[in-house]
Structure 1
Amino acid sequence: MANDVRTHYELYPYPRYPLLASVRRCDTYALNLTAVWTRFNGALPPPEAQRILIAGCGSFSPYPFALANPDAAITALDLSERSLRRARLHCLLHGRTNVTYRQGDLLDAPLTGGPFGLIDAYGVLHHLDDPLAGLTALAGRLAPGGVVRLMVYSRYARREEEAIRRAFRLVGITDPAAARRLMARAKPGSRLRRFAETSDEASFDSGLADALLHPRVRTFRVAGLLDLVRQSGLEPLLFAHHGAREDVGEEVERLTALEAARRSPGNFILYAGRNVAGPCPVDRGSLVMLNPCLSRAVTPFALGTVHIAPRLGIANPVLTGPERALLRGLRHPRPWDDLSPACRALLPACRTALFLLQFRG
């Protein structure tokens, strides 16, 4: 089946962003290794953990990861050589050179090396023959304290697309042109017409192929996802899909209730870790610093209010001029004990949003 998946992405590299499409560095704040590590360990990452693996990187992810982590060693792994070529070109066009590209299967340990402080497996496990073997392999490449970000399809968020995908496979629809001909004839109100009218993926071939023509797709309920995570030797740390509660137990209860009603907030995004130390437990004696990705966003030259797109499932603080002035003073670590009352008041929301990092002194 890995060969079928490889063939699929050689034909339809995904996603298909224009090569000149750029990203603001501030919008990559949730991809920063130092920020993610500090959130879950209450300390800065040690030198041996300053490595990132993007497992199933596709044609775009290496660029925002390299932008977020200019000093980290990044390995981008994918089955598809065509996807890797496009990812490499996108990075080069934007001056990002700290990425090593590897073609192959994530089960092939020599390809990836390690250990890694951060592994990204966004939209990968649900395309594997054996998701447990895949996640176990990734868990084995984490440094102690390392974190993996997962995105998998939710059973109920994906219900419409899965019904169409299975129907297409039954009738032998295997290419976007044939799919579009059927979509053009679909009755108003039908699943296929709704998909054609509402999905961004329907507007380009690789998106349509990824959504409806993929040879290997599975979906998850939240209980199955947590079983997978725990069987792989990892600990669930934080859900980050839209509307997620910060407490894992509370979010599992919410998701379970939604699933009982055959509903979902969308696909699941989950951070999981291996032997993490936990967040910084106390304020006194700790150090606080700005997420490195936000340094330009808080300069005096940023006019008006700065809005940063949410990446952790919660609304981000809006950065007005006075707030940016406070954050500018935290571009380098400062003792919590030395912070002004206004800065301390800003800390809880900005720490939750990953704008500020707090760690043991």
Structure 2
Amino acid sequence: MSPSAAALELPAFPEAEAEAPNADRAVAALYDDFPYPPPIADLAPYIAGDKLPTFNPRDSWALHFPEQAPRDTLDILVAGCGTRVVPMLAARMPRARIVGVDLSAASIAASHDQCARYGLDHVSFHRMPLEEVATLGQDFDLVHCHGVLHHLADPSAGLRALAAVTRPQGAISAMVYARYGRTGVYMLQDLAKRLGLDANNGGAPFMQALVKHLPDRHPLAMLPWGERPDLPIEEVADMLLHPRDRAYTVHDVRELVDSAGLALHRWLGNAVYEPAVSPLGALGEHAIAQAGPWERAAAMELFHGRLITHSFVLTHPNRPTAAELFSGPGMVDAVPVRSPHLSATVDGDQLALENRALQVPVRVTGPVEKLLPWLQAVDGRASVGVITWQVHQGRLDAATMRDALALFERLYQADIIELRSGAARG
């Protein structure tokens, strides 16, 4: 190969790289030296409910268990707990029993100390690989595993281990890195390797300084990271110097889920994956609108081009999926709940609704006089059918119900509302 050809060689995505020796120890050492993310300084707003962990099971129950009555006594496993997830969940769910496992002693110590400071004694911690969680001799209603599977030597084996400790009616909330939005990350990871840098030889300060000098149109600089001139050194180490890191397309996520014998219940931030509430859908009917959920999500991933994570809820195949619960007649009896991350703004006679927790903005807009009565009627108790009767003051016909169902389907697709099965009113 000529020197000019070698200079143009593109970096391989991480899953194609050979496994480094002692990688588990290297992963633990990275987070012992650079605990990430930093612990939350003040848990009081989470305890009071002024701040909410995104898509947490207390405030977004319907995303995880829409066919079950809400309860606050869940058994929760946080697999790869890091420094902050257990304290945040413990602050919001004082009656839950929460177990955190992690490879990093420093991360566990940070989580433990934070819980102790606020008297959150319904938690326990274990330093261990998540692949060995069965040795705890416990099973769980909810397994939370965000930002961890993509750092394992065998993510499929890790997910199977989590499935084995998830109860039959339980759920797994997971997040993995997305491939296309992290292209700039993998360019810089490859650069660090070519320079012989890692987290143990001064690589973190060097890469921290280098990020400040990236060209404006570098793929990393065009993402949210590039908007912050001083990335914390812990974030730089986690993002650019991690010893084991892979990324997933939607189809890769599907293979991962299938390999564990699980079912996709729904995406967290489903609006991002739904053509019907995107410009793609607004341009007219096309084949993808009639495709299955995986195919629609894959198309939207390509349309957005810059998703950096995929978050989703998985269940055992015996549980109904969200699509099965709320298609057709199921929507009439469904109970809508406003998203805890809902933002509503008025501009003249127009109302704009948006879920602030989404990676990319997805908005539902319309005249205030038409949208607001429906939104005000959503109280977490009345069904779609009852709300329609209320808004139309008891005057119903087939066309009215059809229009109401179309509106609620759009609000649901855009993550403006969550839906509970009518049997799960609680």
* Same fold per superposition (TM over 0.5): yes
Alignment of 1:1-361 (within 5 A): 1-20=23-42, 22-23=45-46, 24=49, 27-28=52-53, 30-32=55-57, 35-36=60-61, 40=65, 42-44=67-69, 50-110=74-134, 112-174=136-198, 175-183=203-211, 198=226, 200=228, 202-241=230-269, 243-245=272-274, 250-257=292-299, 263-274=305-316, 275-278=318-321, 280=325, 288=335, 309-310=356-357, 326=377, 330=380, 341-342=390-391, 349=411, 353=416, 355=418, 357-360=420-423
Please identify, of 263-272 and 349-358, the stretch whose mean Cα deviation from structure 2 is larger.
Answer: 349-358
Q: Is the 8 A contact 2:250 2:297 kept in 1?
A: yes
SS for the counterpart of 1:15 is coil
Q: Distance in 2 between matches of 1:92 and 1:138?
A: 27
TM-superposition CA deviations, 1:203-253 (whole Å, max 9, x none): 211111111011100111221210110110101121234622299955533
Deviation at 1:50, TM superposition (A): 2.4
SS for the counterpart of 1:121 is strand
Q: Distance in 1 between matches of 2:336 and 2:220?
A: 49
Please identify, of 161-170 and 266-275, the stretch whose mean Cα deviation from structure 2 is larger.
Answer: 266-275
Cα distance, 1:165–1:248 mapped onto 2, change above 3 Å: farther
- Per the normalisation by structure 2, the TM-score is 0.66
Please identify, of 156-165 and 88-97, the stretch whose mean Cα deviation from structure 2 is larger.
Answer: 88-97
For 2:68, the aligned partner's letter is A
Cα distance, 1:2–1:327 mapped onto 2, change above 3 Å: same
Q: Distance in 2 between matches of 1:59 and 1:14?
A: 7
What stretches of structure 2 of length at least 5 have no aligned partner?
Answer: 1-22, 276-288, 342-351, 366-370, 393-400
Q: Is the 8 A contact 1:38 1:44 kept in 2?
A: no
TM-superposition CA deviations, 1:239-285 (whole Å, max 9, x none): 23462229995553345346668934332112211121345565699
Deviation at 1:170, TM superposition (A): 2.5
Q: Distance in 1 between matches of 2:225 and 2:24?
A: 32
Q: Distance in 2 between matches of 1:214 and 1:171?
A: 15
Q: Is the 8 A contact 2:221 2:227 kept in 1?
A: no
Q: Is the 8 A contact 1:41 1:277 kept in 2?
A: no
Q: Distance in 1 between matches of 2:101 and 2:306?
A: 30
Q: Is the 8 A contact 1:19 1:93 kept in 2?
A: no
Deviation at 1:148, TM superposition (A): 1.2
- Per the normalisation by structure 1, the TM-score is 0.76
Give the number of aligned pairs: 347
Q: Distance in 1 between matches of 2:262 and 2:235?
A: 31
- What is the root-mean-square deviation in Å for CA atoms of aligned residues? 4.3
For 1:42, the aligned partner's letter is E
Cα distance, 1:307–1:96 mapped onto 2, change above 3 Å: farther
Please identify, of 145-154 and 256-265, the stretch whose mean Cα deviation from structure 2 is larger.
Answer: 256-265
Please identify, of 18-27 and 342-351, the stretch whose mean Cα deviation from structure 2 is larger.
Answer: 342-351
- Of the two, which has the highest radius of gyration? 2
Instruction: Determine what percentage of the aligned residue pairs are the same residue.
Output: 22
Please identify, of 116-125 and 96-105, the stretch whose mean Cα deviation from structure 2 is larger.
Answer: 96-105
Q: Distance in 1 between matches of 2:340 and 2:305?
A: 35
Cα distance, 1:224–1:356 mapped onto 2, change above 3 Å: closer
